[in-house]
Amino acid sequence: MAVKEVLLYPHPALKEICNPVTCWDDSVQQLLQDLVDTMIDAGHSVGVAAPQINDMRRAVVVDVSKSKLGKKQENHGLLQMVNPQIIERDGQTLVREGCMSVPDYTGNVMRAERIVVQFQDENQQLQVISAEGFEAIAIQHELDHLDGYLFLDRVSSLKTDLFRRK
């Protein structure tokens, strides 16, 4: 439908907690399509969350299948998630993350290695999936946006774990 402008830190919308989708109408389908279009247009993105395009509903899209890291592992392809919730976490790994809303920096963040996430898909069907590796990390990153967290909030030390992009 449309490529949307991605909000940049420190825009206040990026720190807000999003509202659950309670009324499923055409605007939800449009939001999901806008998220997909915005992610694809970025060229390098593996996910985008609704607050990044200034929509305060709990929706994200994730697709690691075209990323060099995602191609190395099994993944679910394009995930369109409404009201997603992580219901299980296992293991921990330290990973370097970046974000379209924080384009000048990357940072080391601790994430679960494996997760189980529950959500409604683009057809309003309840889904429960297991994800691991890069896909699990990408999902956790996007879901953080729904609760007003950026990867910057998860960096242990801004002095040693935050890096300017070259």
Enzyme catalytic residues: 142
Closest CA to 67 of 155, 134, 3: 134
DSSP string, 88-124: EEE--EEEEEEETTEEEEEEEEEE-SEEEEEEE-TTS
Q: Are 122 and 32 in contact (CB under 8 A)?
A: yes
Three state DSSP letters for 139-151: HHHHHHHHCCCCH
Looking at residue 81, its amino acid is: M
Q: Which residues pair with 118 in a beta bridge?
A: 85, 128
Residue 158, CA distances (Å) to 3, 74, 152 in order: 32, 33, 8
Residues in CB range of 117: below 8 A, 6 or more apart: 81, 84, 85, 86, 87, 128, 129, 131, 139, 143
